[in-house]
Amino acid sequence: MKNASSAYLTLLLTFAIAEATPTHGKVQQPAVTNASMITAMAKGTDALAVGDSAGEIIILSEKEGEVRHRWVAHQGPVRRLEAQGRRWLSAGADGSVALWDENSRIIWRRRYGDYAVNDAVLRGNQTAFVGGDRGGVARLDPQWPWRRPGEHGPATFALALDLDGQKIASGGADGRVIVRELKRGEQVGSWPTQQRWVTAILWTEYGILSGGNDGSLKLWQGFGSELKRQINTLPGPVLRLLKSGRRVFVSAGHGAFHSYDLPTLDAGPSLVLSQGGFYPIAIGDRGLYFGTPTGDIKLWKLDGQQSVEHLWP
């Protein structure tokens, strides 16, 4: 990996992930340990996938928190996980994306290049869209591959497919959101959104939500032609956006989780932890799962008491 000191790592330095990132040159083999920092999460059919700073993926049963499978998936931090039924797409700082079956067997692995992948989404069985360091966006599949280097300056941080699976939105260090059609990667829209970096994107039936490291959250319609709603008071960078029903959940850095109703962005329940840091999240039937900088998995139960339950280890 040629660019370990990436813009993405600069973002996460604030949240103490830098010490878990491989140094320039030879990547050390990850150690199997519970102490690794949780860097990515996804909720599948009946399981929770967890990626860590050592490049491991751990599959946990959603209810009991029991380990079903555990393996080294990447040479460096796992930066994104996505569930498709009982299969898992992983993206890593080693510049690769991989698709795994429910028993941790690899289906395929593809390389973005020598630079880290910061986000990835899966469409169908063979097609992965990735964004990474050096600001690139790419479609990795055998039939219709394309690459658009340098689209977002130093780094592309976020991707989101539209609800029909025909377009993809990307955001990055240039503060813009770019929308492309999937087959050939042709641009169909582009507009400035955040004052600084676009660090998270969510495509909803009400429009595109963009979050930035300036602590803002914005809802757009018509490929940026109309700003519908805006929030500028989040306590830290918007690191992840997830939707459940008509509510969007935000991991906002500094150990803060917020929720907002769509399309009004009226505030819902929130949770602020005493320990700040970088907290990946996943939505399940029982509530909001989050990983801690110390390697623990916890569940924010969205019941009347808004309680927090320890799941693993």
pLDDT over threshold 70, residue 22: no
Confidence of residue 17 (pLDDT cuts 50, 70, 90): very low
Q: Is the pLDDT of residue 253 over 90?
A: no
Mean pLDDT of the chain: 86
CB 128 within 8 A of CB 137: no
Q: Encoding tokens for residue 237?
A: 């960078």
Contact yes or no for 71/56 (Cβ under 8 A): yes
Q: Do 128 and 140 contact (CB within 8 A), yes or no?
A: yes
Element housing 61 (H / E): strand 56-61
Q: What is the pLDDT of residue 25?
A: 29
Contacts of 284-291 with C-beta under 8 Å, sequence gap 24+, read 284/43, 284/48, 284/62, 285/62, 286/62, 286/63, 288/242, 288/249, 288/257, 289/41, 289/43, 289/48, 290/41, 290/251, 290/257, 291/37, 291/38, 291/39, 291/41, 291/50
Please name the residue that has the structure tokens 């497919």: 161
Would you list the domain boundaries of the chain? 7-27+82-274
- In this prediction the pTM is 0.86
DSSP assignment letter at 19: G
How are the residues of the chain apportioned to helix, strand and coil, as percentages rounded to the nearest 5? Answer: 5, 50, 45
Judge whether 21 and 116 are in contact, CB under 8 Å. Answer: no
SS3 at position 116: coil
> For 291-313, what is each residue's pLDDT tens digit?
988 889 999 998 766 789 999 98
pLDDT tens sequence across 193-235: 877 899 999 999 999 999 999 889 999 988 877 899 998 877 7
Does the pLDDT at position 277 exceed 80?
no
Q: Is the pLDDT of residue 236 over 90?
A: no
In whole angstroms, give the CA distance from residue 225 to residue 279: 32
3-state secondary structure of 35: coil
Phi then psi for residue 158, to 5 deg, are: -140, 145
Question: Per CATH, which fold does 7-27+82-274 belong to?
Answer: Methylamine Dehydrogenase; Chain H (2.130.10)
- On the question of pLDDT at 107 being above 90, the answer is yes
Tokens 């050939």 — which residue? 184
Percent of the chain with pLDDT over 70: 88
Residues contacting residue 49 through CB under 8 Å, at least 6 positions apart = 41, 42, 43, 57, 58, 59, 60, 81, 83, 88
pLDDT in tens, 50-71: 999 999 999 999 888 899 999 9
Which range among 170-174, 191-195, 218-222, 255-259 has the greatest average pLDDT? 170-174
Alpha-carbon distances, residue 46 vs 43, 49, 51, 93 (angstroms): 8, 10, 17, 27
Using DSSP, state whether 286 is helix, strand or coil.
coil
Contact 111, 92 (CB under 8 A): no
pLDDT on residue 307: 86
DSSP 213: T
Residue 12's H or E segment, with its range, is helix 7-13
Residue 193's identity, in one-letter code, is: T
- Asked if the model's pLDDT at residue 78 lies above 50, the reply is yes
Bin 251: left if φ > 0, else alpha if -120 < ψ < 50, else beta.
Answer: beta
Residue 15 has pLDDT above 50, yes or no: no
pLDDT value of residue 114: 86
